[in-house]
Amino acid sequence: MKFVQEKYAALVRFFFADDAGSRSESLRALRFFRRAVGAIVLLHFFAIRRDFADLFGTNGIIPWDVANLYVADFQLTLPRIIVFLETFGIAAPTTLVCFQAAFYAAGISLVLGIWPRVSALVLLLLQVSVVSGIGFLAYGVDFFTSMALFYLVLANTGKGGNPLPVRRTLQLHLGIAYFFSGLVKLLGFNWWNGESIWKAINLPYVNRDFAFDFTWLADYPWVFVAIGWATIVIELFHPLFIGWKKSRAFWLLATVGMHFGIAIVLNLYYFSAMMIVWNLAAYHAFASLGRRPVGHTLEQLPKIAA
């Protein structure tokens, strides 16, 4: 019984420690998370502004009748909002313009910290209505964006707030996600022999921005095997080694480096940026700028979060 009580007390301290240091660092981490997520969401939305109506309108590239077959009746989607407002005489182009204006306003408000939790909730509803409406176009970054905004709805990043429980949940979320991602890769031989890496870098729609020539690597197949196994190890053991203080800095650097490589080679900039922001918000130690000594050395740089 005593063992159970001790473990329960340790679990409560892990999630709800109320000391000034934990609260202060968690505030800095979640404020960074709020600003960074808001900026990424705005940039991602701005990138599709010219094709927005064609992608997500009722008369888009994918007919609404087709897309609606894959959407549950209870889901809020942009096309359904358009159809609903048309019954009140509001034309689709007007709805699209107002929707985009509301999206930008909520995103800017989130970045600036103006009613941050309300802004995150509004942005979450708008973002989900876009993603769920045309599921064919959604991929990893859209789902992690939705989850990030949900956590920002829960996190009190205002003065006197203590978002430590949300930060701990972020850490657990990442650990579970990486573990099962690594486990799935481990169960398939395509990652053992490097085939998945070779296929990924040779897809016709990736590596277009920098156009790296990887043909010479055909003579060195062990490189793809090494990258495949490195990816498995980084993901599978992420919850273990990033939770251990002595290896946390290295594992955080390895994880960020992995996503940076994905951004450069596969050109998945928004996905990589979102995952890097998640990792930094969860595990980086955001020391107070006002407490850093002038002319600090490498040894005085912020350590990785406890």
* Residue 1: half-sphere exposure toward Cβ, Cα within 13 Å: 0
CB-based contact 110:45 (threshold 8 Å): no
Q: Which one-letter DSSP state was computed for residue 70? A: G
**pLDDT of 302 above 50:** no
Instruction: pLDDT band for 7, please (50, 70, 90 cuts).
Output: low
Judged by DSSP in three states, 76 sits in coil
pLDDT tens by residue, 40-57: 999 999 998 888 888 877
Q: 76-112 pLDDT, tens per residue?
A: 888 888 888 988 989 888 999 999 999 999 999 999 9
| pLDDT in the model for residue 296 | 40
Q: How confident is the model at residue 157 (pLDDT cuts 50, 70, 90)?
A: confident
Angle at 207 between CA 283 and CA 146, to 5 degrees: 40
What tokens were used for 97?
């313009």
In angstroms, what is the C-alpha Rg of the chain? 22
Q: Is the model's pLDDT at 11 over the cut of 70? A: no
